[in-house]
Amino acid sequence: MTIHEIADWLGGEVIGKNIDDAPDIVRVAKIEEADSGSLTFLANPKYEKHLGTTRATAVLVSRKTDLKKNIDRSSLIFICVDDPYAAFLHVLKRLTPAIEVFSDGIHPASVISPNAVMGKNISVGPHAVIGEHAAIGDNTKIGAGCIIGNYAQIGSECILYPNAVVYHQCKIANRVIIHSGAVIGSDGFGFAPKPDGTYEKIPQLGIVVIDDDVEIGANTTIDRATMGDTHIHRGVKIDNLVQIAHNVVVGEHTVIASQAGISGSTKIGKYCMLAGQVGIAGHIEIADHTIIMAQSGIHRNIEEQGKSYFGYPADEARKAQRVYAAMKMLPDMVREVTALKKKIEEIDKGFTKK
């Protein structure tokens, strides 16, 4: 596509010299990796330094960007749009040749129970297993080696990548994406201690319910409830290697980054953000719109909405940041307090003597 074609398609404004001589845009690339024929974008001011050196043919920038200092680079062309990153994604999708990831239809090397209820236009990869009385909705793709347990239900237009596992009876709604190695519905970690210090397994008889438009990362584990259900509400996005324990509830449109863990029976609100490696204790509630920063440990209820938390154990982010900043002064303070103590003793001695 030419620069003008792209700008027209995006509704953007072109700024630059020799636009008609510029090469066609044949690919998109990050600003530091772009070369001639590439379109790139500038959304984060942190990357502005690359404007002086990028070898891209054109850069998508915000209409609000001050181009004066960069406009003298005769070879660089700007396309000004409202949201450069969104515009970039549109071009990315348009220029990337789509490849088929899933094959059409039911592979003969899969095993589908005769009493499974199968919708239309389903893809089932080789060595996938659909259990007894399971149900799969229209247009859903079940990757190679996926195992769908007995009585499990999966809605329409879902994508399960290879080797994902859904245990018996779990219910997955529509347009859910589950990445490879994710395990949905394994037993909750529940054991009743016996007087002799050993444990008796508590039967885990509930299920996992996953609502529409959820995405679940690779090797993430979501345990079935002891009874009732572990419930992931619609629009939730979960990264890789996340642990969701039994009877947890995750509210709508919450995002959970990699290696975070949520202990049993905890309720996470809507529109929350849990960063990487966060740990959350069991049997607590986290209010809507809460942000929890990386590696933080939350051990009690968060009742007020829309606050950020940080630290181990976590506190409100502003408080915690003051504490962690003060921590760095600690060795100096120890020295100072010792010095003050000595000084006071001297003063006191002198004072008393008198």
Residue list 210-229, contact with a second copy (CB under 8 A): 215, 217-219, 221, 223, 227-228
Binding mask 44-83 for a second copy (x = CB under 8 A): --x-------------------------------------
Determine, following the binding rule CB under 8 A, whether residue 299 of this chain makes contact with a second copy. Answer: yes
**What residues numbered 279-298 form the site for a second copy, per CB under 8 A?**
279, 281, 283, 294-295, 297
How many CB atoms within 10 Å of residue 72? 9
Cβ(242)–Cβ(263) below 8 Å: no
> Segment contacting a second copy (CB under 8 A): 12-20, 116-124, 125-133, 301-309?
125-133
How many CB atoms within 10 Å of residue 241? 19
Minimum CB distance to a second copy, residue 37 (Å): 14
Is 253 among the catalytic positions? Answer: no
**What residues numbered 233-252 form the site for a second copy, per CB under 8 A?**
235, 237, 239-241, 243, 245, 247
Q: Token pair of 344, please?
A: 């006071």
Q: Token pair of 144, please?
A: 């190679």
Determine, following the binding rule CB under 8 A, whether residue 150 of this chain makes contact with a second copy. Answer: yes
Report how far residue 220's alpha carbon sits from residue 32's, in angstroms, rounded to the nearest whole number: 33
Report how far residue 39's alpha carbon sits from residue 46's, in angstroms, rounded to the nearest whole number: 18
Determine, following the binding rule CB under 8 A, whether residue 127 of this chain makes contact with a second copy. Answer: yes
> Segment contacting a second copy (CB under 8 A): 1-9, 11-19, 63-71, 165-173?
165-173
Determine, following the binding rule CB under 8 A, whether residue 167 of this chain makes contact with a second copy. Answer: yes
Report how far residue 164's alpha carbon sits from residue 182's, in angstroms, rounded to the nearest whole number: 5
Q: What is the DSSP string of 158-220?
A: -EE-TT-EE-TT-EE-SS-EE-TT-EEEEPP--EEEPTTS-EEEPP---EEEE-TT-EE-TT-
Q: Which residue lies nearer to a second copy by CB, 73 or 113?
A: 113
Minimum CB distance to a second copy, residue 42 (Å): 14
Cβ(230)–Cβ(236) below 8 Å: no
Determine, following the binding rule CB under 8 A, whether residue 118 of this chain makes contact with a second copy. Answer: no
Catalytic residue among 90, 133, 246, 289: 246
**Residues linked to residue 232 through DSSP beta bridges, in sequence order:** 210, 250
| 272-281 long-range Cβ contacts below 8 angstroms, 24+ apart | 276/239
Report how far residue 86's alpha carbon sits from residue 97's, in angstroms, rounded to the nearest whole number: 19
Handedness of CA 171, 224, 289, 62 (dihedral sign): negative
Determine, following the binding rule CB under 8 A, whether residue 186 of this chain makes contact with a second copy. Answer: yes
Determine, following the binding rule CB under 8 A, whether residue 143 of this chain makes contact with a second copy. Answer: yes
Determine, following the binding rule CB under 8 A, whether residue 315 of this chain makes contact with a second copy. Answer: yes
SS3 267: strand
Closest by Cα among 321, 254, 319, 264 to 291? 254
Closest by Cα among 125, 152, 267 to 208? 152
Determine, following the binding rule CB under 8 A, whether residue 168 of this chain makes contact with a second copy. Answer: yes
Minimum CB distance to a second copy, residue 74 (Å): 27
Q: Which residue lies nearer to a second copy by CB, 12 or 190?
A: 190
Q: Which residue lies nearer to a second copy by CB, 18 or 53?
A: 53
Determine, following the binding rule CB under 8 A, whether residue 37 of this chain makes contact with a second copy. Answer: no
Q: Which residue lies nearer to a second copy by CB, 5 or 104?
A: 104
Q: Which residue lies nearer to a second copy by CB, 15 or 256?
A: 256
Q: Write out the catalytic residue numbers.
A: 246
